[in-house]
Amino acid sequence: MVTDEHPSSLRRALSLLDALASDDAVAHGGWGVSRLAAHLGRDQSQVSRTLRVFADAGFVERDRESMAYRIGWHVFALAARAADQRLLAAGAPILRRLVEKDLGERIHLSVLQGSEVLTLLTQAPPHIIQTVAWAGRLVPAHNTSSGRALLIDREREDLQRLFAGVVFGAGGPNAPRDVEELYERVLIARRSGYAIVDEEFEPGLVAAAAPVRDFRGGVVAALNVSAPKFRLWGRLPLAGQAIKSAADELSERLGWDGTRPRNLAAGPSAARSEVPA
C-alpha cells in the first residue's frame, strides 16, 4: 500500500530546485547547504544528501571555490526540449488566429540556423494558392523580417562573426549592403519591438516580424507576416504591432516574464506572399 510519505519526500526534494532557481539564489551564483536549509527550514544533513543525489544526476552542480550549489545542465536540457515542443504546440493556434481573424495573410514561425532562417510552421489563408511549402526551408537572415527579429538582441560584433563570409546585396532593391547597415536596421527593430522590411528579400514583397522569447528572455523564434506590397503596405505598421502582440503572447506561454536577458536589443504575383521574408 502506497502512503503519502513518498510524494511528500519528492516534494521536499524538488523544493530544493525551486529554491536554487529563485532570483536571490541566481543573483548570488547559487546557495550553500546552510543557506538552503535555513531558507526551507530543513535539516542540513538531509539537504546535503539530497543535493548530492541531484548533483550525481546533473540536476544541480557545485562551485568548487564557493561550494555553492546552482541549477545543473540536466534541468536546462529538459527545459530546452520542453520549450521546443511547447513552442510548436502553443504556436500553431496563434498562427491560425493571426491568419483567420487578424491579418488574413500568410504567417510563419521560424528559428535561426546559423546565418539563415528555418521555417518551422506556416499558416496560409485558404484563398491563397499554395505553390511552395515553406516549412522546413531556409532563407537568409540578413534581408528578411524574421531574420531581423531573430537578431534583435545581437550587437555589431555578434553580427560580424555570424555573417563573416556571407555575401550581401542579393535579394530585393532595399537589401542591406553590409553588416553595418544590417546593424542599423536591427537597432530600429529593437526600439519598436518588431521588424519591418520593404523589398529586401525580393522586389514587391513587404513583411513584419517580432521575436519570441523563452523563459530566460532569450530569442528562440520569430513570428512573421509577408505579402505583396500592394496588398499589405498600407497596414504594415498595424501588422507589425499585431505580430508583436502575438509573439509576446507566445513568449508568455513559454514562461517569459516580460524582461530581457540581464546580459543585454502593382503587382507582384500572389505567390510572393508565401515567402517567409
**Domain map of the chain by residue range?**
5-71, 80-274
To 5 degrees, how large is the angle CA 48–CA 51–CA 57? 150
Q: What is the pLDDT of residues 186-207, one digit of tens each?
A: 999 999 999 999 999 999 999 9
Q: What is the pLDDT of residues 46-67, one digit of tens each?
A: 999 999 999 888 889 998 888 9
| Spatial distance between the Cα atoms of 134 and 149, rounded to a whole number of angstroms | 18
Q: Which fold has domain 5-71?
A: Arc Repressor Mutant, subunit A (1.10.10)
To 5 degrees, how large is the angle CA 192–CA 175–CA 181? 60
| Spatial distance between the Cα atoms of 145 and 135, rounded to a whole number of angstroms | 16
CATH 3.30.450.40 correct for 80-274: yes
What integer is the mean pLDDT of 130-134?
44
| Spatial distance between the Cα atoms of 202 and 170, rounded to a whole number of angstroms | 9
**Predicted local distance difference test score (pLDDT) of residue 262:** 45
| Spatial distance between the Cα atoms of 95 and 90, rounded to a whole number of angstroms | 9
pTM of the model: 0.68
| Spatial distance between the Cα atoms of 206 and 229, rounded to a whole number of angstroms | 5
